[in-house]
Amino acid sequence: MQGEGYYLGLDLSTQQLKCLAIDGDMQIKHTEVVDFDRDLPHYNTHKGVYSHGDVVECPVGMWLEAIDLVFEKYKGAGFDLSQVKAISGSCQQHGSVYWKTGAGDLLQHLNDANGNLVDQLYPDGFSRKTAPNWQDHSTGKQCTQIEKKAGGPEKLAEITGSRAHFRFTGPQIMKIAENEEDNYKNTETISLVSSFLTSILCAKLVPIEEADACGMNIYDIKAKGYDDSLLDVISGKFGKEDLLKKLSGSVTKCNSPQLMGNIANYFVSKYGFDSECAIYPFTGDNLATICSLPLEKNDILVSLGTSTTILMVTDQYHPSPNYHLFTHPAIANCYMAMICYCNGSLAREKVRDSLNENQSTSWTNFDEAVLDESLDTSGELAVYFPLGEIVPSVDAITKRVLYDPKNCEIVKYVDKFDNNRHDAKIIVESQALSARVRVAPLLSGTVDESNDEKSETMVHFDYDSMKFSEYSSKRPNRVYFVGGASKNDAIVKKFSEVLGAKNGNFRLETPNSCALGGCFKALWSDLWKKKKIDEKVTFDSFLNRYFPTDELEEIKVDDITKKWEAYKDKIIPLSKLEEELK
């Protein structure tokens, strides 16, 4: 590969700041971590935040100290930072940083000979000492007003890619404009955490990055600009022009690599960086995660954790109040869809424990049942939501049904199946089937001709109605599994069978995915910008060519088409069962 030297990816997450260095062959060469609670105990954060009731926030000074500390750790380890060619990275999403009037000057005059970031910038550079964190729940009133102004949750999702959420930046800014007039008035610029970190590294205030801007409930994704009427409701009496100015007028676009500047002299003098070291825009952590893998359109990343999260690259702008769409941070004309299910591992563990009569937490019985092909679950379906669910949006409930496979009608509700081995098989089937029907509208490509008599039947899920043939024949390109439960062979195999990827299922361990996504973006952006690769080499084609495939383990599934025949007959009953829950 053409890349020489090192490329850094920083990840400023809730509990730590991580910095990864790769070389031009995409191999990880060094990692340093600053753990906020442990390494910066004088901020008295708990898991990186201050929580008081519904309010959750992070001290900005702590982040400034962490930036110095992580580079000090690099220097202390003897790592030659002068060989770093470019830096990018990711940050927790939705958080907002409030720079005080005059902050731009302060940044520009950072004293590079001595001193540190926190002493020179904090608190004088900020109109608020803290940044709202994504776990904040205090903006219910503002969310209602924003949705009302947009014309309802569906309309807001159509404009901004998401309905209103407590943690999203727009509602947070609106609350501050309402409750902290002086702080708001004294604010020169509002950054997301990602543009805050980019600004520090370049020592100048830079606009918000476009993909991360989609987590604000203000940015019109299709029109590629902040929405006038949303600016209006959020800014209240201070006015939309003033807010637009605070948001730097526009965003940093993602359709091609944008050089934000070279690293500031402060970092050159203090840590020995090369003054030519390029800074490329930081983005949100979920957005950086999709940059850590060779994902192209119609590829899916399934994170099997306590909750199940699906990240998908799509060229279909098909928003829904049930999930999120963001502009893709590195592929032009593509989006990232993020579908979050509340009920993932915990729900499966409950079934496992009941199968083990609460005597053990071993997965053996559960796994055997999941893969037991002689265990006939045709005509049986269930949803297991011990927690309220987001997709579909319903309260906590577990419901088992028997349906007639001929006409797909629900015959009756039952309290249990023949035995609880059926629950093990059905929970994994129904979780995976729910994911498959939710990604279907986001998949591009043709719908297979089918002679199935149900082909033309309209099927309804959430806010979508599509022909049965579309739900049954659209298939993802590739599926990647990550997260705790991806280590479980039975679960991953069953998910792979049901999701039906055309070009393979893979699993991998991703302890550093956000930071790694930043490294890859820095490498590709720099080679592209310096014309060391042809400008036709898109981010996804670059990763597909050079990604170290030894990291990936392929999950083999046999007879996928035959197996789908059994699962696809559950689509209509699942739609009917979900309708009954509402």
Residue number, 192 or 231, with CB nearest to ligand XUL? 192
End-to-end CA distance of the chain, in Å? 54
327-to-141, 278, 320, 333, 361 alpha-carbon distances in Å: 27, 23, 15, 8, 41
Quote the CA–CA distance of 481 and 495 in Å, as a whole number. 9
Comparison of 236 and 305: residue with beta carbon closer to ligand XUL = 305
Residue type at 149?
K
**For 386, what's the count of Cα atoms within 13 Å in the CB-facing half-sphere?**
12
Least Å from the CB of residue 167 to ligand XUL: 5
- Number of Cα atoms under 13 Å in the Cβ half of residue 110: 28
Give min distance, CB of 14 to ligand XUL, in A: 5
| Structure token pair of residue 101 | 């009037």
The β-bridge partners of 555 are: 505
Q: How far is the CB of 95 from ligand XUL (least distance, A)?
A: 8
Spatial distance between the Cα atoms of 1 and 548, rounded to a whole number of angstroms: 12
Least Å distance, CB 277 to ligand XUL, is 26
Residue 107 vs 338, nearer CB to ligand XUL: 338
Give the residue with the Cβ less far from ligand XUL, 326 or 384.
Answer: 326
Q: How far is the CB of 260 from ligand XUL (least distance, A)?
A: 21
- Rounded distance between C-alpha atoms, residue 203 and residue 182, angstroms: 25
State which H helix or E strand residue 340 sits in.
Answer: strand 335-341
**Residue 3 or 215 with smaller CB distance to ligand XUL:** 215
Q: Give min distance, CB of 268 to ligand XUL, in A.
A: 30
Locate 24 and state its tokens.
């031009």
- Burial (Cβ within 10 Å: 0-12, 13-18, ≥19) of residue 547: middle
Q: Which tokens is 70 given?
A: 């992580």
Peptide bond into 294 cis (omega under 30): no
Q: How far is the CB of 168 from ligand XUL (least distance, A)?
A: 8
For ligand XUL, give the closer residue by CB, 92 or 314: 92
CB of 379 to ligand XUL, least distance (A): 38
Which is closer to ligand XUL, CB of 13 or CB of 51? 13
Binding residues (CB under 6 A) for ligand XUL: these are 13-14, 92-94, 134, 167, 215, 284-286
Helix axes 364-371, 345-355, angle to 10 degrees: 100
**Shortest Å distance, C-beta 309 to ligand XUL:** 8
Name the minimum Å distance from CB 284 to ligand XUL.
6
Q: Is 96 exposed, middle or buried (0-12, 13-18, 19+ CB in 10 A)?
A: buried
Spell 402-422 as b/e; 16+ CB within 10 A means b: ebeeeebebeeeeeebeebbb
Question: How far apart are the C-alpha atoms of 490 and 369, rounded to whole Å?
Answer: 9
Residue 127 or 309 with smaller CB distance to ligand XUL: 309
